[in-house]
Structure 1
């Protein structure tokens, strides 16, 4: 038969007389049994079975007797290995497989029992007794059939292993006999149970057996479904991969107790890594905890990350110093122009390190305006020593844990920046620059400056404890260099542990050297330019320095040169001709000059005095303007002044009244009938400090006496109510700022004579410095005609 028939096509009445009593037999060794009224496939490969098949096809009208083996593992069964009851079936389809075996489809016809063995050598041949089912149609059998049908439909829905056609077949079958055989043919039960159902001739009993089996199987399936639902919900809460790996891990541990490969690998790393005893003990203890917990639990990830940090931290890894003072001097000279005092101090520092094995050397702190090369000085120290370099920016941090690290109880805990930097550079003795130490803040999360005490104090940093590590770390061989714009915002306790080195800034000649030696070559390379594409004259560079920048450092100078090169690159690519930059065409590239070589007033004026001020960005000139208006001797001040500056204005007003009273009583009468408006230009810029006292007093005296103040002089100094001029700070920066502004004569407090030695020689060649003990000394120098001309015409 080539056309496959449906079950209903095969179900037909077969008379007992049409089925031969003697039939060849095939011993089946599967857990499936072919029942009457059912169709099933079967593979034939054994020699006896093939001969029986051939005989059935040739002489017995395709009828064959199917009998199950008691033990399916027996390869060559005897008669005693077979059950006594089987099924007479008809072969409805035959095909040959690629392996040489045969596949047949058989239709179960009728139960039969072996009466006598006819042949068992070459093939099985039996004399059979056909068996009729005993069925008595009544309401109980009908009810049983309906119940079995209902439960079987439910069973098929729960298992979802059978095609929809099987469900349709059951739905269309109402005959209890056929229904019981169809259900029995697909039930997932053991061979003995299947054989028992086959041997049961009473249809009612078969239905009862099937009802019991179906009830049991449905119960198990419902339990399995419930368990599967719970597992699925659990998987959704975590993740499927976690569940599967966890299950596999548990099974593996239960089966063979093998240690986790990761644990073994970590243990080997801990034993191989050179660690301090305390660190090794801690690592092994954490590893033991890890081995006892779930591999994919959150805490396991925390421990694993912690162990990675311990293993990757350079506890003993160092670079050997290659310190030669002459070589260090060359490095400093090649990296920096000017800055003679800081460079000399660095060489002293290195010399002491070379001679002494004591590592408790002071922490250097470079203080100066932005762009003066504080950080690069730290790099030069690393280069001179042959050490690795690390940088930590402290600007704006307000959390103590940034220095000391987070405790591991926090989510996302990390070590502090010190530990992170050491891990990054992979040695325990690098040079680390702590930038902007003056810009740390205090908050409810702790004081970072206080945490730095342990890092920077040579007495404490031999056992620095990071909160994340909870282990002592020896930082005594690490060189720390700090930088700051101002030093007064650094807490005194921290300032006490550092040696302050002030970097006042560069003169114009030093800036020109830096531009030629460092900035220009670097920027030409960055912009893809060279001498064949562009030329810049020295005078053009000088004008950029004097007319386009006003800074202590060279950062803005670098920006201006970069702007110049960008525009030159555009011009070159447009014309393909070499670009020449001179004084004449400089404004074409950089625009109008924002500054002028000289900032001094064009001529002497009444009530206008040039003062000198210090800022975090270097020294600067500061004009003070005073006018008198009708009033009652009151003071009006504008220009966003701080508290100290306001106090200075009040002191200057009272001192001026006293001076006028001593000189001329008539002027004193005018003094009492005038109000004084003191203005500091650039009102948006905050101004504070005592060093404007002499400047304000001079402007007030000039305004009330109508005597002009020299326009080619600048001054600074704190004033007292008795007229004494007190010393101030930032002398070098202030004098350089006057020089930069084109003012070549200044007045300083006499107590600041010692600070003049620090002023660069280039500035001192042009600068005239006057020293004053009292306000009278200042007025005699600054007012045209001096004090004697205050009360009379000169």
Structure 2
């Protein structure tokens, strides 16, 4: 590598035409010493010519450095005002190109940029900075020194000795040069300073940039402090949790893994932020409580209930009308009005998936198949099935749940049914709705108003859960023997479907299709040959049953089969039932 040290020329005579060196990403000021890398052959020729003559070059900053990487810089890409500089040192690079060390000696404006003999040159007019008297500049110098002192005390100084050196300076030109060598300026900002025409304006602009620098430094320091505090807090929490984990392991109270599992389950729950915050609060309480304490047991049971509920877990309805019709006809004979209503509901769901779910109430005499019909509807829709019997219930807490302050507290029956069904849209049969009672513990029928109201039950509040739970996707089917004991507001929320008693022919048909085969299975006569004629069934219905339903008929059929089983066991004989001998058996 060829290293040549050159002497700095005097500034008395500046040629009218100087070789141009474009500078990228930097603006060189007078009195500033800057190293430059030159790779372009045309520029290198200009440097060599300057070394042979006055050793002066003209430094012009490129306007946009992003375009320079895509191709050669044109004369239109250069600013008009630049710095006249002297070449102090030149180093030739073996791979091609040169490194030069230049020092600015003054400012100039390019009148005309010309290219002569493959050398980029410019005709320049030297520019003189307007010199102000010291009294005018003194306030600006004091302001600059004051802000430099502020930077030093706040720890935002450019260098450890920046303030000390600046405080000893009195010459405005040297002060400006010293600060310019430390400021991080964009090309546009540097060019703006270079084109300033007076010392006073230069010092004002420098003060503005120093003030901007300290504001940026304060914001950066604030961001760093916030990040450091957050990091320290996270590290502190991690350290304390590890210590707590070690202590609990030594005491045999290691429930950290259980807490972590609960937190993961909570993150996976498809619930809103309000519910997550409340459950997280209970998890934190459990973490702070001794595992063997009664409070920990209560909190743990509560959290187990929360995580066991089917939040957002819905089964897909089977909306095949023919499939539903087949199942309903197989399980129950007659009941045309109810079957039509279920098929209507399936038809609506085919057209509107989030449509209104009816709240049906089957009213009729005992034994007419109200409860079993609900199970058949659930089967036809492909929904989970749950049954709640409200006969004799007098405590409102059976519906809304007990508060967790009581020992042995439990959620209400509807939340329990949701857990058993493991689905957010099951079919729930509310049995014996007309037999709800009331006493000093409250009125359960009043609590049922919220459960059976489509406008309210999407945020049903259970006292044990303490969280809103959505019951709006449930299909409710209530059963009752009479409407007289159902309160008016509750009856108003129900779609009443009355079931009349079965006719003789319907009872005979039900016995043949369902009751006889069931009685044979119940008495162990599956593989034995036993027959009950239609005439016998009709005689039993006419002479031995006085009911609207078929429960007594079912009991009589089971009694006949029991007699047949006894005859088979005692005498090894098959009994043939007829209208003449059924009186002996019944």
> 569, 572, 580: which is aligned to 2:568?
572
* CA deviation map 1:139-169 (0-9, x unaligned): xxxxxxxxxxxxxxxxxxxxxxxxxxxxxxx
Q: What is the deviation of 1:447?
A: 1.0
Matched, 1:364 2:360: yes
Seen in structure 2, the aligned counterparts of structure 1 residues 294 and 571 have a Cα distance that, compared at 3 Å, is same
Q: What is the deviation of 1:254?
A: 7.9
Q: What is the deviation of 1:567?
A: 1.4
> 336, 342, 354: which is aligned to 1:340?
336
Distance 1:324 1:409 in 2: 48
Distance 1:301 1:435 in 2: 33
* Match in the other structure for 1:297: 293
Q: Contact 1:359 / 1:476 at 8 angstroms: preserved in 2?
A: no
* Match in the other structure for 1:410: 406
* Match in the other structure for 1:381: 377
* Match in the other structure for 1:544: 540
Seen in structure 2, the aligned counterparts of structure 1 residues 442 and 257 have a Cα distance that, compared at 3 Å, is closer
Moved more, 498-507 or 265-274: 265-274
* CA deviation map 1:247-284 (0-9, x unaligned): x9995478999873332332233234444433322221
Q: Contact 2:253 / 2:291 at 8 angstroms: preserved in 1?
A: no
Q: Contact 1:429 / 1:477 at 8 angstroms: preserved in 2?
A: yes
Seen in structure 2, the aligned counterparts of structure 1 residues 480 and 257 have a Cα distance that, compared at 3 Å, is closer
Distance 1:399 1:354 in 2: 40
* Match in the other structure for 1:490: 486
Once the two structures are superposed, the pairs formed by residues 609-620 of structure 1 within 5 Å of their partners are: none
* Match in the other structure for 2:320: 324
Once the two structures are superposed, the pairs formed by residues 163-178 of structure 1 within 5 Å of their partners are: none
Once the two structures are superposed, the pairs formed by residues 471-486 of structure 1 within 5 Å of their partners are: 471-486=467-482
* Match in the other structure for 1:451: 447
Choose 1 or 2 for highest CA Rg: 1
Aligned CA-pair RMSD: 2.2
* Match in the other structure for 2:387: 391
Q: What is the deviation of 1:531?
A: 7.0
Q: Contact 1:367 / 1:483 at 8 angstroms: preserved in 2?
A: yes
Q: Contact 1:363 / 1:497 at 8 angstroms: preserved in 2?
A: yes
**3-state SS in 2 of match to 1:369:** coil
Q: What is the deviation of 1:350?
A: 2.7
Once the two structures are superposed, the pairs formed by residues 193-342 of structure 1 within 5 Å of their partners are: 252=248, 260-342=256-338
Seen in structure 2, the aligned counterparts of structure 1 residues 572 and 253 have a Cα distance that, compared at 3 Å, is closer
Say how many residue pairs are matched.
343
Distance 1:282 1:576 in 2: 70
Seen in structure 2, the aligned counterparts of structure 1 residues 560 and 308 have a Cα distance that, compared at 3 Å, is same
Seen in structure 2, the aligned counterparts of structure 1 residues 252 and 453 have a Cα distance that, compared at 3 Å, is closer
Q: What is the deviation of 1:352?
A: 2.4
**3-state SS in 2 of match to 1:406:** coil
**3-state SS in 2 of match to 1:580:** coil
Q: What is the deviation of 1:359?
A: 3.4
Distance 2:265 2:249 in 1: 23
Distance 1:481 1:258 in 2: 47
Distance 2:434 2:551 in 1: 20
* Match in the other structure for 2:56: none
Once the two structures are superposed, the pairs formed by residues 123-142 of structure 1 within 5 Å of their partners are: none
Distance 1:505 1:581 in 2: 27
**3-state SS in 2 of match to 1:475:** coil
**3-state SS in 2 of match to 1:432:** strand
Distance 1:292 1:321 in 2: 44
Distance 2:321 2:404 in 1: 45
**3-state SS in 2 of match to 1:450:** helix
* CA deviation map 1:745-781 (0-9, x unaligned): xxxxxxxxxxxxxxxxxxxxxxxxxxxxxxxxxxxxx
Once the two structures are superposed, the pairs formed by residues 720-735 of structure 1 within 5 Å of their partners are: none
Distance 1:345 1:293 in 2: 54
With a CA cutoff of 8 Å and minimum separation of 6, indicate the structure with the bigger relative contact order. 2
**3-state SS in 1 of match to 2:428:** strand
Q: Contact 2:431 / 2:478 at 8 angstroms: preserved in 1?
A: yes
Distance 1:551 1:513 in 2: 16
Distance 2:573 2:427 in 1: 46
Matched, 1:523 2:515: no
Q: Contact 2:319 / 2:349 at 8 angstroms: preserved in 1?
A: no
Q: What is the deviation of 1:409?
A: 1.0
Seen in structure 2, the aligned counterparts of structure 1 residues 583 and 364 have a Cα distance that, compared at 3 Å, is same
Distance 2:251 2:579 in 1: 88
**3-state SS in 2 of match to 1:534:** coil
Distance 1:531 1:259 in 2: 57
* Match in the other structure for 1:759: none
Q: Contact 1:363 / 1:456 at 8 angstroms: preserved in 2?
A: yes
* Match in the other structure for 1:148: none
Q: What is the deviation of 1:363?
A: 0.8
* CA deviation map 1:503-560 (0-9, x unaligned): 0110010000000001111121121114743221111111111111110000111111
Distance 1:455 1:249 in 2: 44
**3-state SS in 1 of match to 2:317:** coil
Seen in structure 2, the aligned counterparts of structure 1 residues 327 and 563 have a Cα distance that, compared at 3 Å, is same
* Match in the other structure for 1:430: 426
Q: Contact 2:357 / 2:474 at 8 angstroms: preserved in 1?
A: no
**3-state SS in 2 of match to 1:390:** strand
Q: Contact 1:279 / 1:310 at 8 angstroms: preserved in 2?
A: no
> 490, 493, 496: which is aligned to 1:500?
496
**Structure 2 unmatched ranges of 5 or more:** 1-243
**3-state SS in 2 of match to 1:307:** helix
Distance 1:385 1:303 in 2: 37
Seen in structure 2, the aligned counterparts of structure 1 residues 361 and 255 have a Cα distance that, compared at 3 Å, is closer
Q: What is the deviation of 1:582?
A: 0.8
* Structure 2 length-normalised TM: 0.56
Q: What is the deviation of 1:388?
A: 1.0
* Match in the other structure for 1:514: 510
